[in-house]
Structure 1
Amino acid sequence: MPAVITYADRRIDWPQKVAGLAQLAKLRVYYHAYEWLLAVLLLRMQHFWPVGAVTSLVLFLVAMFAVQAAACAIDDVMGFRDGSDAENYRKNELSARPRKLLPKPLLTGLLSERDGVTFAVAAALTATAAAVGSLLVVQAPKASPLGYLAVLACATQYSWGLKLSYRPGGLEFVIVAVNAATIILPYWWIAHRVTAAAVIMAAVVCVWTLLVVSYGNAADRDGDEACGRRTFAVLAGPRVYRAILVVLWLASLTLNLLPFALGLLRPVGVLFVVPLLVAQVVQLRWGVLHGDARRAMGIGMRCYDLGGLGFAAAILLT
């Protein structure tokens, strides 16, 4: 007989609890792997590959997924406490167990609030240990720990402490800091400098993520407003926010083409990025013209797949 954990009138066995922890960590959001892959390929392309690079990079990838797990767990705990998740995931339910509820283990009862807090602390400690190992293996620059600690602090303050995501521009700041760092930090630690190619690729992936999150904010506008989360989707009127989404799309289009225009990647490599460009047009159509933010958000996740693989192929071609 498996061990059983009981919350209220629900009986949760250990396999269910493990599944709940995976949901809490948002392990289905694997996009840091693409950013990490692009950093690895850029390092190889530009011949920065010292002894210990492989071990350092693997540990860094573990650290960034642990940072994500800690930040997501804290966000779910705070969303559970202030009721914003209940509001956002309660609406438009077409069945007794709508699919949208599945990634929220605190709402479905798979995990308790205490489980969420404990997991967040464990993930933050794991992230720190893995990052320290990554730094030591390659003798990274002395200022490297400060860069990592800034990113960890920023991520964990997303919904807790400073509650950056509750402030205008705070959410976008966290997104840019964490996603850019996933390329910039390992590149800097190993190469001991940062090149234009690394900076531009970091900007590219940041805008991809901003597009996903911005459509998500549009979908969650009512719940965020009810709990005092002052996102741009809450503060701006629908017309202004649609303009913001169009600006983000234009920024992404420009950045997607910039490495090829500057000669950092072979121009013919842009062919690998064409599927991404097409998908982002489709995303714009559904999100801005038809107002289906949830669908546009889902398309944005597929854009990350197309972009990650497309730019990886373009770098390998260079």
Structure 2
Amino acid sequence: MTTLAVTRGKAYFRLAKLDIVDYYLGVVVVWTLLAPMSRFDPGVLATVGVFLLGEVFVIAAMVALDDLTGYRDGSDITNYSPDDARRKRYRKPLVAGTLNEDQVLRFAWATGVVGAALWLTAIAIAPHSPLWTVVLIVVTYFFSLQYSWGVKLSYHGFQEFFIAALGWALVLAPYGLATGEFTGFALAQALLFGLGPLLFGVYSNTNDVDGDRRVGRPTVAALTSARGNMFFVIGVSAAELALILAVPALGGPWWFPLALVPTIVSRGWQLWLGFALGDILRARMLGIRIHRLTVLTLVLVNLVVIT
């Protein structure tokens, strides 16, 4: 393999953000939500596996189109300026010059088509295909590709909602295909899962506020004052806490909030780190770790409860 091919392969890997696995962890939560007899059922495993593979391609298309839009409007060039050593330019192949616009656009459409085919296959082979699940998958696919392209949801004030809603859908959809059910406990875990990416995304938006304002991308951080944005992030963190406390009423065990104490404590530290100490990017990185910790906790809780 030539050096050029290796370099190009790395560029596409970074374009697809394949090192950021946090949305993909949803299928692990789904698998542990299943009854023990279903966890190793061939049909269930095939369905969840194909859905996960489709998810990888759909998200690759979504983030590639987001990079292309961010490059064209100049926000990525501003946010990943050469003098900001903590924002790694090589993670943005267009900004780094390792891919051009045509290559990124072709990659986005190719991965989008493959992702659609895989999700249709998952629906076709699934043990269950309730209408709400099929509609959820179709809507998720459509709006994923419209996040920064086409209608550009993230440029019309829907960015924060979409980041969370994508996580909710990526738990509920495979769960519906595998079980045909919609339970309060599964819904609660889907909501918690979706808040994880949101609670590191809002710290990214806080850091990127100047670039987003310059191109008119209406994130909460860009639309409000620094103080208003801080209260928004505090509010989202409080909503996560309220949801954790409400899980026993939604079908979870009484001790569920105790199991999530590490998440609760870590959120407090994240807020202090980001807004009291002013280290937004460290708070963002901590948010990624908190999300993964929460997923691990959900998995362990499910393995204990669902037997």
TM-score range, shorter chain: over 0.9
Q: CA deviation at 1:136?
A: 1.2
Q: CA deviation at 1:60?
A: 0.6
Partner of residue 159, structure 1 = 148
Q: CA deviation at 1:214?
A: 0.8
The 1:92/1:256 distance shift into structure 2, 3 A limit, reads farther
1:243 corresponds, among 217, 223, 231, to 231
CA distance in 1, matches of 2:162, 2:114: 20
Does 1:303 pair with 2:290? yes
2:68 corresponds, among 74, 77, 91, to 77
The 1:205/1:142 distance shift into structure 2, 3 A limit, reads closer
CA distance in 1, matches of 2:74, 2:250: 50
Q: Secondary structure, in 3 states, of the residue corresponding to 1:215?
A: helix
Partner of residue 8, structure 1 = none
Q: Secondary structure, in 3 states, of the residue corresponding to 1:102?
A: helix
Partner of residue 290, structure 1 = 277
What aligned pairs does 1:35-184 form with structure 2 within 5 A after superposition? 35-44=26-35, 52-90=43-81, 92-94=83-85, 100-141=88-129, 143=131, 144-168=133-157, 170-184=158-172
Q: Is the 8 A contact 1:69 1:120 kept in 2?
A: yes
One-letter code of the match for 1:18? G
CA distance in 2, matches of 1:264, 1:49: 24
Q: Secondary structure, in 3 states, of the residue corresponding to 1:90?
A: coil
CA distance in 1, matches of 2:130, 2:246: 32
Q: CA deviation at 1:50?
A: 6.1
Partner of residue 19, structure 1 = 10
Partner of residue 230, structure 1 = 218
**Superposed CA offset, 1:244-281 (max 9, x none):** 1111111111223332x337333445554332222211
TM-score, structure 1 normalization: 0.89
Q: CA deviation at 1:225?
A: 0.6
The 1:263/1:217 distance shift into structure 2, 3 A limit, reads closer
The 1:223/1:44 distance shift into structure 2, 3 A limit, reads same
**Superposed CA offset, 1:105-130 (max 9, x none):** 11111111111101111111111111
CA distance in 1, matches of 2:189, 2:124: 26
Q: Is the 8 A contact 2:167 2:195 kept in 1?
A: no
The 1:19/1:78 distance shift into structure 2, 3 A limit, reads same
CA distance in 2, matches of 1:271, 1:246: 21
Partner of residue 315, structure 1 = 302
Q: Secondary structure, in 3 states, of the residue corresponding to 1:30?
A: coil
Count the aligned residue pairs. Answer: 304
CA RMSD, Structure 1 to Structure 2 (Å):
2.1
What aligned pairs does 1:255-270 form with structure 2 within 5 A after superposition? 255-259=243-247, 261-262=248-249, 264-268=251-255, 270=257
TM-score, structure 2 normalization: 0.92
**Structure 1 residues without counterparts, runs of 5 or longer:** 5-12
**Superposed CA offset, 1:212-257 (max 9, x none):** 1111111000001111111111111111111111111111112233
Partner of residue 261, structure 2 = 274
Out of 216-225 and 46-55, give the one that drifted further.
46-55
